[in-house]
Structure formats: structure tokens, C-alpha cells
Amino acid sequence: MSLWLALAIGNSRLHWAAFSDSRLLHNWDSDYWTAAAIAQFAADPASAGLSIASEVSLQAPVPLAIASVVPAQTDLWQQYPAQQILTLADVPLAKMYPTLGIDRALTLWGAICSLGAPVLVIDAGTALTFTAADRANTLLGGAILPGLRLQQQALAQDTAALPLVALQPDLNLLPPRWATDTPTAIRSGILYTLLASLQDFACDWLLQEPEGAIALTGGDSALLHQALSQQNPALAARIHRDPALIFRGIPALRNWSLI
């Protein structure tokens, strides 16, 4: 079985997937790696302790497809000997604009490959993004706002009195909307407005495309999907959550040859 990896570099951390030919075996997240760790992995992949099935033999260096929205990280990974950097030119979507994030393009393509078009992707990462395609795989566009942790951090960093709060101590319980203490007021403000944004974009999308699919991915997708299912169960049931969405379309990219 020949193994290769895909690495999506986000603004918070790394997202990984292990593939055997065009089959996605599994996916996981990690912190950023140092240059020394990358060099070590190139020479001796087993040393990295990746959680890959033991029946898979790792040849050094393991082929690696990279999609990055963080230029400093792209530079760091350029030294890896068996890498291929994915670009917008590899993604078979029409009408992409030149500065569109490769993560948004790939995640949209992944959603088309797994759910079909038209589709709206909601990526709750460092930034929360909405990205949609019509039935002809043409990018319709989307929107970008600060993600959950970024909103918490912005309040804590740029005000004198606001603390950094854990967003939801209990996943199964939405905070009271009308809070009477500061941490709960922050939780309420961030969570209910994120849910409102999500519902507003999703409703607009379904007006435009009543049969359109909706996919949700990213580090905050579990929390947001859980919160949405308490507030709007019917909408939550229509949304397909898939943490591996960005990887689903990689084997079907333009001119793809398993690097």
C-alpha cells in the first residue's frame, strides 16, 4: 500500500490527512512544526510518531501535498524534498479570484466531490468563511469574519477589563443570552452573533438554492453545530459536518498524479 500525506496549513495549526492511492485513511490536526522536525521527518518518517495504521509502510520521504494560506509556513515546508504545493490553478472551479485562499477553494471542491453542487461551505477556522459554488462548479463568492477564538482574543487584547474566556464550559448548554456577569456576556455575545451569522447566510443560500447542500468544517465546527442544533434543529440537520472536507477533493484535482 503506497502512502502519501496531505497537509493543509491554516492560520492556527496544521491539518493532516493520510491517503492510500485515492483513499483517505484518516485525518488529524497538529501544532506547527519546526524546521528541524520537518528535516527529521523527511529523513525518518517513522520518527514523527504519526498515527498511521501500522500495516502501512512509510518510505522516506513520504510524498506530501501542501495547501497553505500562511506564507511563512509555506517557506518552511519548501525544504521538504517530496512536496507539491497546491495552487488555485489545480482546483477545477470557475471564476476564482486571484487572492482567494487555497483552503477555501479546496474545501469548496471537497464539498462538491462529496455532496455535489450547488453547495455552500462554512469553515469555522481562525477566520470563519462562507464560500459557495453553483451547479456548474462556478465560485459564487462568500464572506470572511473573525472566528470564535479570534473574537475572544480580540476582546481580551484590545480592552482593559475583558478577560480571555473559555467559550463554552458545557457544550450541551447555550449560555443565557441576557448575561449578568462579564464572562457570560462575552460568551453570549460571540456565540449568539456567530449563530445568527451562520443562520443568516444559510437562509440566504437556501432562498437562492432551495435544494443546495450546506457543509460545515473547521476547528469550531463541532461546537457550532452542537449549539445550532439546540437553537435551530431543522437547519442543523441540513448541515453536513465534515472535519476532513478540505481533503475530500484532492485526488480529483486537475492533473493529479499522486505527487
Ligand X SMILES: Nc1ncnc2c1ncn2[C@@H]1O[C@H](COP(=O)(O)OP(=O)(O)O)[C@@H](O)[C@H]1O
Ligand Y SMILES: CC(C)(COP(=O)(O)O)[C@@H](O)C(=O)NCCC(=O)O
Exposed/middle/buried for 37, CB within 10 Å: 0-12, 13-18, 19+? Answer: middle
Catalytic-role residue among 31, 75, 90, 103: 103
What's the min distance (Å) between Cβ of 219 and K ion?
8
9 is in an annotated binding site: yes
The answer to the question of residue 152 lying near ligand Y (CB under 6 A) is no
Q: What is the dihedral angle through the alpha carbons of 120, 199, 142, 102, rounded to the nearest 10 degrees?
A: -60
23 is in an annotated binding site: no
Please choose, out of 36-44, 58-66, 145-153, 169-177, the segment that lies near ligand X by the rule CB under 6 A.
145-153
What's the min distance (Å) between Cβ of 218 and K ion?
5
158 catalytically annotated: no
The answer to the question of residue 11 lying near ligand Y (CB under 6 A) is yes
What's the min distance (Å) between Cβ of 190 and K ion?
19
Q: Please give the C-alpha separations between residue 234 and each of 44, 46, 251, in angstroms, as whole numbers.
A: 49, 45, 33
Q: Please give the C-alpha separations between residue 258 and each of 6, 21, 23, 255, in angstroms, as whole numbers.
A: 10, 7, 11, 10
Cβ closest to ligand X, residue 32 vs residue 256: 32
Closest CA to 228 of 177, 194, 189, 205: 194
122 is in an annotated binding site: no
Q: Which residues bind K ion (CB under 5 A)?
A: 10, 103, 125
Q: Which residues are catalytic?
A: 103
